Amino acid sequence: MSTIEALRIADFSVLGCSIDGENFGFSVGPMGLSRRYAEKLASEVAEAIHMLNNLLLEESGVKLDYAEFELLSRERGNLPEAMVLVTGGGEDGTDFIVLLEHEKGLVDAFRFIDVANELVEKLKDVAFACKASGLRGEEEKEVLQKFVERFTRKVYSEASQKKYREKYSRDFLGHLNITSGLNIEGRIEIDYGIKPPMLNSRIDRMSFEEHASDNLEFLKSLIFTKTALEVLAGDVTLIGRRILSLINEYTINEVEEEVTTRLAEVFWSRVKPDLVKIEEIMEEAKLFVDEVRGAFKKIEEDINAIIYSGEKRKLRQHLDAVDGSGLAASFKDTLAKFLSEKDLEEEAWGWSLKEELTFFLEHAERGIKTFERALSAFVFMTSEKKAIKGILEEYVKQVLDPIRRLMVKAYIEKIGKKLESFVEDRSLSVPASWDLATFRGRIKDDLDSQLEAGVLFSTVELLEITFNGFISEVPSELRVKIEEVYRDIKEHVSEVVPGLADYLLSHDVFKAFLEQGKIVFSPEEFSQKYFDFVSKDVEEFPKWKSLAKTWLEAFASSFKRELSEYGLVAEFVEFVDRLRDEEISTKKPKEILEAKVEMQQERVNELVKKLSEINDRRMSIERQIDVLQSQLSSAELMEKNLKTDYGINVAALKDLREALEAKKRELDEIEQRLPSLKGGEVDVALQRKSRLEEEIRGITVKTQRLVSDVERIDKELSEIIRTKERFTNALKQLHADLEDIANQIAVTSAEIEREEAVKNVYTKFLERYSHTLEEVLFVAHMLKAEVLAFAQDRVLTFTPSISMEESDLNEFKDYVKRIFLKSFSYVLLRPLRLLLSSHDKANLHYIVMYSYPSNESFRMTIGNNLLSLGEEGGKEG
């Protein structure tokens, strides 16, 4: 029986749990995982569930109990339509159960949760019994593992008997008395670059339903942070996809895999390990497949001969009867491997081997068909990837504008994996034979399909593209500044804003604030009280505190009317969510950079004003110096004149004193001679004495007058010297002040030059980012047309070729497994509904319902049963 056939008639269950740091896992079903891989799945999923629930509890006070996913497959009706995940456990352990179901929406969530809780309790009992019995280490682990295996078989048996079917699947919300109240809308993008494909979601809008504002307690119970909503929109899907991915690894039919692998190895050995035109490869492949079919026909004949021989022989002898020459050896070796678990020396009737041998022939033939299809698709796909890569690289080189070239290159790198994955996915539809016209047409079609408009880059990505293309142009001495701005903006949009938004609406903060008492109706009072409430908590995070103040002030000023308490809470939640989106939008870095440029210009203006004031002081000092210099020159001239007068007067005084002394000596001589003189000599002597006395009196008067003048000149000279000294000292001080002013001018001028350079760098960064935003529009709306026009002529002249190295063989083997042999490689997993439970309030359950209006959008509706619990229900648990 094939894997697909087995899946049609059987459910699949896998159980995992973690207790005291040990992981246990087991699976039952047609694709049952080995114990080792079941334990690996148990470990990874239990850890993911634990982290997810911790995040949900911290953000919104809920935990995940149950998740149901739909499985979208191209082979509808063959593969399961749904996967159910139920979780249990607490702080000391985590467990989960997974079921694959062929109809979605039919599993009884609460019965399934009871099973998970039963597992937790029983596992604890078994662990306690092990310890009480003295079992330790591996012995205890083995007992617990065996219990998990038995419990998994029990779950599988009951699931197969449809014991977990939901009786109320048509009215799930009504049966649980769920009232919806919160709607979330967003976009989705499918990443085919990984197998199974991944559903990536992005939340665009959230809104409360109108009736949600009629009851404050109900409204408060529906407050979820953006991070919590993103967990419900995305992380839950990640867990589901991881489980499906691990299961997918073990859906390969061993016979088909062995046949395709051996045929690939033989074929590669026949082709030269060089670039070969694909026409030659395809011709060689056609001849090879014909040869393979001939060899298989002989194998088929030999095996049918065994089945219908009616002989009883040893299994080894039956195998010896199968041709093993040439290409037939690949099939014979595969058959021997397929039967390797049997005893080759044991005798068996040929007809008793019919089931195994028929199964082998069926899957060996499928292996041939798979090889033929896969080789054709692989050659086509590899050549197309090479052609598209070359076209896009050529296009990038011919883009002249450096910013545009950077953006186009970043965009092509961004969609590179998606484009390659799309080409790989489309390779499934490549026929066994095709021509160059088909090949060239597919290149154009695939480029046309994948070069699409939409949200091409996140804010952080645009910031990184701009920064990385700009930083090398920034002078080394200014890079620290620009790197700091870059980090601040990046931190703002990726950490500060999301972190603060989640904090303001988090379960532990906002709901705690609301529980304090009656909510004030005034938005101003509400904002002030809430800021006071959170400010101590965010004291260590100044960026959070500053932004929180800004947001709450903005909320207060955005409403000029009083609101009801319900309306106030609802408006605030939606206001924070809206602000978060605005603050992380692609426009925000531009706004921040504009503010930076403006602040830097203000800084430059302040410095220019400061320099002007310094220059005014310089000019004032220079004027003072001129005045003092003039006064000093006057003083020096006066000093010079006074010194000249002083010298003349001192010399005259000396002459007078000498003359006076001479006169006095002569007078003394006359007075000494008078007694000895007689007659006329006495008269002459007396006359001379009289004249001398007169002259002495005259000289004495002149001397006294001259002494007075000298004293006056000396005093004036001393005063003028002191004045000149004061002027000189004042001039020295002014010159010192002028030198200091000159230094201030030099420092301020350098500071202006530096700050101007910083402003210019900020301006350049702003211009580059603005240019980047403009180029996003080009990439979104015009790139596709330009690339298709550019590719037109190149596609027509492209001659595809492929290399046949050993690395290409390994890539082909992996490609065959991934694309053709694994059952879930193309199954898209999407969440349908979740059941959450409140951590604080007993019996309070949440339902999250998902819908998909289109392939590019999703909706989440969240509700709970609070209104049905009454006054006693939903109390603290």
When pLDDT is averaged across residues 839-864 and rounded to a whole number, the result is 89
Fill in the DSSP letter of residue 165.
Answer: B
Q: Is the model's pLDDT at 61 over the cut of 80?
A: yes
User: Whole-number mean pLDDT of the chain?
Assistant: 84
Strand 845-854 with 828-838, pairing: antiparallel
- Report the distance separating Cα 872 and Cα 135, nearest Å: 46
pLDDT at 417 over 80: no
pLDDT at 422: 82
In sequence order, what are the residues at sequence separation of 6 or more whose Cβ sits closer than 8 angstroms to the Cβ of residue 83? 68, 69, 71, 98, 99, 100, 101, 240, 243, 244, 829
| The predicted structure's pLDDT at residue 4 | 37
Grade residue 84 by pLDDT with cuts at 50, 70 and 90: confident
d(CA 261, CA 527): 68
- How does residue 781 score in pLDDT terms, banded at 50, 70 and 90? confident
Least confident range from 154-168, 312-326, 568-582: namely 154-168
Q: What per-residue confidence (pLDDT) applies to 597?
A: 96
Rounded to an integer, the average pLDDT of 623-628 is 93
What CA–CA distance (Å, rounded) separates 42 from 429? 36
Of 362-366, 550-554, 759-763, 866-870, give the lowest mean pLDDT range. 866-870
Q: How confident is the model at residue 263 (pLDDT cuts 50, 70, 90)?
A: very high
Residue 442 tokens read as: 């597919």
Q: Which residues contact residue 801 at a Cβ distance below 8 angstroms, ignoring those fewer than 6 apart?
A: 275, 276, 277, 278, 383
DSSP string covering 590-647: HHHHHHHHHHHHHHHHHHHHHHHHHHHHHHHHHHHHHHHHHHHHHHHHHHHHHHHHHH
Domain boundaries defined on the chain: 3-251+822-869, 255-451+785-821, 472-585, 591-781
pLDDT reading at 753 higher than 60? yes
Residue 715: what pLDDT? 92
The predicted-structure confidence for 535-544, as pLDDT tens digits, reads as follows 888 888 899 9
- Long-range CB contacts for residues 48-55, cutoff 8 Å, separation at least 24: 48/238, 48/239, 48/242, 49/87, 49/94, 49/96, 49/239, 50/18, 50/94, 52/231, 52/235, 52/236, 52/239, 53/87, 55/227, 55/228, 55/231, 55/235
Is the model's pLDDT at 431 over the cut of 70?
A: yes
**CA–centroid distance for 196 within its chain:** 24
Q: Kindly tell me if the per-residue pLDDT of 747 is higher than 90.
A: yes
On the question of pLDDT at 100 being above 90, the answer is no
Which of helix, strand or coil describes residue 216?
helix
Nearest to 140 by CA among 125, 122, 127: 127
Place of tokens 């030999």: 302
Quote the pLDDT of residue 177: 83
Question: pLDDT tens digits for 205-219?
Answer: 888 887 766 777 888
**CA-closest candidate to residue 169, choices 109, 245, 88:** 109
pLDDT-based confidence at residue 224 (cuts at 50, 70, 90) = confident
Per-residue model confidence as pLDDT tens digits over 141-193: 888 888 888 888 888 777 776 676 665 454 566 667 888 888 999 988 888 77
The residue type at 154:
K
Q: Which residues pair with 834 in a beta bridge?
A: 67, 848
| Residues in Cβ contact with 870 at an 8 Å cutoff, skipping those fewer than 6 apart | none
* C-alpha dihedral (601, 607, 608, 613), degrees to nearest 10: 150
What is the rounded average pLDDT of the residues 93-108? 73
**pLDDT exceeds cutoff 50 at 7:** no
Nearest residue to 509 (alpha-carbon basis) of 528, 529, 537: 537
CATH number of the domain located at residue range(s) 591-781 in this protein: 1.10.287.620
**In the predicted model, is pLDDT for residue 683 greater than 50?**
yes
506: pLDDT strictly greater than 70: yes
Q: What is the DSSP letter of 192?
A: T
Distance CA 264, CA 352 (A): 32
Cα dihedral 254, 256, 259, 264 sign: negative
Does residue 31 surpass a pLDDT of 80?
no
d(CA 349, CA 310): 7
pLDDT score recorded for residue 10:
40
**99: pLDDT strictly greater than 70:** yes
Round to whole Å and give the CA distance between 186 and 188. 7
Neighbouring CB atoms inside 10 A of 138's CB total 9
pLDDT at 748: 95
Report, as an integer, the average pLDDT of 94-105. Answer: 75
The pLDDT of residue 869: 81
Secondary element (H or E) of residue 209: none
**Length of the chain counted residue by residue:** 877
Question: Does residue 2 register a pLDDT over 80?
Answer: no
Residue 501 CA to residue 768 CA, distance in Å, equals: 29
Q: Strands 828-838 and 347-349, how do they pair?
A: unpaired
SS3 69: strand
Distances, alpha carbon 740 to alpha carbons 245, 613, 712, 743, in Å:
75, 14, 42, 5
Check pLDDT > 60 for residue 265.
yes
As a whole number of angstroms, the distance between CA 356 and CA 374 comes to 26
CA gap 819, 507 in Å, rounded: 45
User: What is the pLDDT, as a whole number, of residue 3?
Assistant: 38
Query: Residues near 270 by Cβ (< 8 Å), separated by ≥ 6?
Result: 284, 288
Residue 358 backbone dihedrals phi, psi, to 5 degrees: -65, -40
Q: Residues of the chain with pLDDT > 70: what percent?
A: 90
Range from 102-116, 218-232, 703-717 carrying the lowest mean pLDDT: 102-116
Output the CA angle 333-248-422, nearest 5 degrees.
100
Q: Is the pLDDT of residue 593 over 90?
A: yes
Structural tokens at position 197: 């494909």
Tell me the pLDDT band of 38, cut-offs 50, 70 and 90. low
Judge residue 609's burial from the number of C-beta atoms within 10 Å of its C-beta, 0-12 exposed, 13-18 middle, 19 or more buried: exposed
pLDDT of residue 560: 66
User: According to the model, what pLDDT value does residue 33 have?
Assistant: 56
